[in-house]
C-alpha cells in the first residue's frame, strides 16, 4: 500500500479524515515525494508549488515545505510519520532488539504535543492501525513492527544515538536552542547519519517561512525548481493547501501587517528581517575562558539589569567598565524562573556593592517593583531612558569597531547572535529577539556596555528619587559634590 492508497482507504489512514476533497494539494505533494503516478491536476499543482516541470521518478530523500499558517503542516507531518512507521517493513534494516524511530521534532513541548495528538488520532481512528500499538509512552507510541514514533523538542543533544527511519521537523524556521546559534544545522547534522543505514528513509521539514536565513531558506535557495533533484522543495500559501481557511481572516492579516502576513499566509520569506550581528564577529571579541572579572580598586563600574517578576523571563544583571576606549564586560548574571524577585534583588544588590556600584539602570519596561526592592537595599534603580532597541543600536558600532571585550559565555553569544533587525515601514529599525528566542542576558549586557562606553559623560543632576538609605550615604559624600553620579563618590571612603 502506498501512502496515497492508505489515505484514500477508510480503514487505514483515511479513517482520520472526514472529507478528502480539500486535501487534494496535499495528495499531489505526497505523490511527488513518494514518486507516485500523478494526474494532470496533480502535475499542475506540483509545477506551481515546486517550480519543476517533470514528475519525480524516485522517492525524495529530503522534502522541504514552505507553507502558510494553518495550511495543514502539522497534520501532514503526523500522517507521514504514521505511514512511514506503520506501512513499511524495516525487518532487513533493524537488528533483533533494535527499534527504528520515526522522529518528530518540534520547537517546544506544546508543538510536539500537537503532533503527538495528531499521530494518536490517526492510529486510534483505524482499527487496523490501533491494533499495531503495543505501548504508549509520554513522548510517543511503539508499534508491533519494531518501529516507534517519537515526538521530541528540537534539541541537538537529544537526537543522537537512534536508528532513525524518518525525521519530521515541524516549524524548523522557528527553532531556537539556548546552547546553539544554529540549532537547525546542528540537529540535522545529528540526524542525517542516524538515517544513513536505512534505505528509503525520509527527512521531511515543514515550516512557515521566516527570515532569509537558516536551513529552510538555504534549501529553498538551493533546491527549489530543480528537476530530478532528490531534495524536493514545495512552497505554497495557506489557501492553496487548505482551502477551508477563510479568505477574510487572511485579508485582515494583510491589512494589519502586510510583511508578516505575506510570510505567515503567503509563505514568502521575509525581506524586512536581517540578522543583527554574526556569531563569528562576536566570537572575535570574546576573551577565551574569561567567565567574569573581579572588582578592581579604582575602577568605576556601570551596571544594567533586566528585571523579571519570577515567572516567564529571566532576571539578569551585567557589569562593565571602560578601559581606554574599550568597554569591558565584567559580569553577566542570569537567574532563571521560577525565583523570588526579592531574593534575586538581594543577591544582585550584594554583587553591585562589591563593584562599588550604587545605581543600576534597568530595562524601562521592568515595572515599579525593582525600584522599590533595590532602594530598600541602598541601590538607586533608574529605568533606562533608552529602549532596548536603542541600546542594541548603540552597541553595534562598538562591536564593529572591536571596542568591546566580551565574556566567554555561550548563552550570551547565542542571544546576541540571535537578535534580528526589522526594517519598519517609515520608522526606525527595531532590534529584538526572534520569535520564541530570548534576549534577557543580551539586554543587560548591551545596557552595561553602552553605559560603560558613555561613562565619560556624567549625569550632573542628582536624581530626585533617592532612597533614604542612599540619601544618607549621598550626604556623606567626601567630595562635597564634585561628581554628581550616585555611587561613584559615595563609596570612595568605604572602599
Ligand X SMILES: Nc1ncnc2c1ncn2[C@@H]1O[C@H](COP(=O)(O)OP(=O)(O)OP(=O)(O)O)[C@@H](O)[C@H]1O
Chain residues binding ligand X by CB under 6 A are: 22-23, 26, 69-75, 208, 241-242, 244
Among Mg ion, ligand X, none, residue 88 binds (CB under 5-8 Å by kind): none
Secondary structure in 3-state letters for 394-449: HHHHHHHCCCEEECCCHHHHHHHHCEEEECCCCCCCEEEECCCCCCHHHHHHHHHH
d(CA 145, CA 99): 9
User: For residue 183, how many C-alpha atoms fall within 13 Å in the half-sphere facing its CB?
Assistant: 27
Written as nine digits, the cell of 35 is: 514518486
CB nearer ligand X, residue 208 or residue 316: 208
Q: How far is the CB of 183 from Mg ion (least distance, A)?
A: 18
For residues 69 and 335, which CB has a smaller minimum distance to ligand X in the complex? 69
Residue closer to Mg ion by CB (options 68, 378) is 68
Taking the CB of residue 339, how many other CB atoms lie within 10 A of it?
Answer: 16
CB of 110 to Mg ion, least distance (A): 10
- Tell me the three cell numbers of residue 416: 546576541
Round to whole Å and give the CA distance between 64 and 231.
7
What crossing angle do the helices spanning 341-354 and 369-376 adopt, rounded to 10°?
50
Q: Which does 242 bind (CB under 5 to 8 A by kind): Mg ion, ligand X, none?
A: ligand X
Instruction: State yes or no: residue 74 binds Mg ion (CB under 5 A).
Output: yes
Phi then psi dihedrals of residue 168, to 5 deg: -125, 120
Which CB, 267 or 327, lies closer to Mg ion?
A: 267
As measured in angstroms, the least distance from the Cβ of 76 to Mg ion is 10
Partner whose footprint covers residue 244, from Mg ion, ligand X, none (CB < 5 to 8 Å by kind):
ligand X
The residue range among 74-82, 224-232, 359-367, 375-383 that interacts with Mg ion, by the rule CB under 5 A, is 74-82
Return the C-alpha cell found at 450: 553602552
Span from 30-38, 73-81, 403-411, 429-437 in contact with Mg ion (CB under 5 A): 73-81
Beta bridge partners of 207: 66
Q: Smallest distance from the beta carbon of 169 to Mg ion, in angstroms?
A: 12
Decide whether 112 or 303 has the Cβ nearer to Mg ion. Answer: 112
Applying CB under 5 A, the span of 68-76, 191-199, 366-374, 406-414 interacting with Mg ion comes to: 68-76
Nearest approach in angstroms of CB 235 to ligand X is 14
Smallest CA-to-CA distance from 384 within 324, 321, 454 is with 454
Residue of closest CB approach to ligand X: 72
CB of 24 to Mg ion, least distance (A): 20
Smallest separation, CB 79 to ligand X (Å): 9
In the bound complex, what is the minimum distance in angstroms from residue 143's beta carbon to ligand X?
Answer: 22
Sign for the pseudo-dihedral over CA of 293, 299, 304, 305: positive
Task: Find the angle CA(26)-CA(30)-CA(34) to the nearest 5 degrees.
Answer: 175
For residue 239, the partner it binds in ligand X, Mg ion, none, with Cβ less than 5 to 8 A by kind, is none
**Residue among 118 and 220 whose Cβ is closer to ligand X:** 118
Closest to Mg ion by CB, 74 or 375:
74
User: Could you tell me the three cell numbers for 434?
Assistant: 526572534
Query: In this complex, which beta carbon is closest to Mg ion, that of residue 73 or of residue 335?
Result: 73
- CA distances for 63 relative to 167, 185, 199, 231, angstroms: 11, 16, 16, 6
Q: How near is the Cβ of 78 to Mg ion at its closest, in Å?
A: 10
CB of 74 or CB of 353, closer to ligand X? 74
Q: Residues 167-206: x/- map of binding to Mg ion (CB under 5 A)?
A: ----------------------------------------
344-353 CB contacts, 8 Å cutoff, 24+ apart = 344/310, 344/315, 345/370, 345/373, 345/374, 345/377, 346/377, 348/305, 348/315, 348/317, 349/374, 349/377, 349/378, 349/379, 351/317, 351/319, 352/303, 352/317, 352/319, 352/379, 353/378, 353/379, 353/491
Q: Residue 208 binds which entry of ligand X, Mg ion, none, with Cβ cut-offs from 5 to 8 Å by kind?
A: ligand X
# of chain residues touching Mg ion (CB under 5 A): 2
Binding site for Mg ion (CB under 5 A): 73-74
Amino acid at each position: 500500500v502506498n501512502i496515497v492508497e492508505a489515505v484514500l482507504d477508510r480503514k487505514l489512514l483515511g479513517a482520520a479524515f472526514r472529507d478528502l476533497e480539500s486535501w487534494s494539494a496535499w495528495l499531489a505533494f505526497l505523490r511527488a515525494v513518494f514518486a507516485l503516478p500523478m494526474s494532470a491536476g496533480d502535475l499542475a499543482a506540483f509545477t506551481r508549488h515546486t517550480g519543476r516541470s517533470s514528475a519525480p521518478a524516485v522517492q525524495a530523500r529530503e522534502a522541504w515545505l514552505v507553507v502558510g499558517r494553518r495550511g495543514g503542516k502539522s497534520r501532514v507531518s503526523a500522517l507521514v510519520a504514521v505511514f512511514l512507521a506503520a506501512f513499511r517493513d524495516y525487518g532487513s534494516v533493524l537488528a533483533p532488539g533494535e527499534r527504528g524511530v520515526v522522529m518528530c521534532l518540534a520547537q517546544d513541548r506544546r508543538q510536539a504535543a500537537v503532533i503527538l495528538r495528531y499521530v494518536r488520532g490517526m492510529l486510534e481512528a483505524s482499527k487496523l492501525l490501533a491494533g499495531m500499538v503495543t505501548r504508549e509512552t509520554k513522548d510517543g507510541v511503539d508499534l508491533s513492527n519494531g518501529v516507534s514514533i517519537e515526538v521530541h523538542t528540537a534539541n541537538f543533544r537529544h537526537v543522537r544515538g537512534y536508528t532513525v527511519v524518518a525525521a519530521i521537523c515541524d516549524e524548523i524556521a522557528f527553532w531556537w536552542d539556548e546552547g546553539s546559534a544554529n540549532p537547525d544545522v546542528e540537529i540535522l547534522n545529528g540526524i542525517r547519519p542516524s538515517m544513513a543505514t536505512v534505505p528509503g528513509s525520509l527527512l521531511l521539514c515543514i515550516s512557515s517561512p521566516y527570515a532569509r536565513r537558516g536551513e529552510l531558506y538555504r534549501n529553498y535557495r538551493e533546491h527549489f525548481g530543480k528537476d530530478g533533484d532528490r531534495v524536493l522543495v514545495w512552497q505554497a500559501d495557506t489557501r492553496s493547501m487548505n482551502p477551508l481557511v477563510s479568505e477574510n481572516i487572511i485579508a485582515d492579516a494583510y491589512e494589519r501587517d502586510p510583511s508578516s502576513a505575506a510570510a505567515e499566509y503567503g509563505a514568502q520569506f521575509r525581506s524586512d528581517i536581517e540578522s543583527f550581528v554574526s556569531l563569528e564577529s562576536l566570537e572575535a571579541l570574546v576573551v577565551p575562558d574569561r567567565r567574569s572579572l573581579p572588582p578592581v580598586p579604582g575602577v568605576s563600574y556601570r551596571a544594567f539589569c533586566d528585571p523579571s517578576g519570577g515567572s516567564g523571563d529571566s532576571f539578569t544583571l551585567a557589569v562593565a567598565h571602560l578601559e581606554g576606549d574599550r568597554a569591558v564586560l565584567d559580569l553577566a548574571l542570569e537567574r532563571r524562573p521560577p525565583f523570588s524577585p526579592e531574593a534575586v534583588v538581594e543577591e544582585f544588590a550584594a554583587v553591585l556593592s562589591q563593584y562599588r556600584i550604587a545605581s543600576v539602570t534597568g530595562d524601562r519596561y521592568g515595572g515599579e517593583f525593582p525600584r522599590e526592592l533595590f532602594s530598600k537595599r541602598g541601590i538607586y534603580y533608574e529605568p533606562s531612558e533608552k529602549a532596548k532597541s536603542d541600546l542594541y543600536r548603540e552597541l553595534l558600532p562598538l562591536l564593529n569597531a572591536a571596542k568591546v571585550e566580551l565574556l566567554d559565555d555561550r548563552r550570551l553569544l547565542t542571544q546576541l547572535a540571535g537578535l534580528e533587525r526589522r526594517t519598519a515601514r517609515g520608522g526606525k529599525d527595531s532590534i529584538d529577539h526572534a520569535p520564541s528566542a530570548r534576549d534577557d542576558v543580551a539586554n543587560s549586557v548591551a545596557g552595561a556596555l553602552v553605559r560603560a562606553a558613555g561613562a565619560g559623560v556624567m549625569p550632573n543632576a542628582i536624581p530626585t528619587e533617592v532612597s533614604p538609605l542612599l540619601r544618607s550615604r549621598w550626604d556623606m559624600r567626601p567630595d562635597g559634590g564634585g561628581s554628581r553620579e550616585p555611587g561613584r563618590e559615595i563609596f570612595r571612603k568605604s572602599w
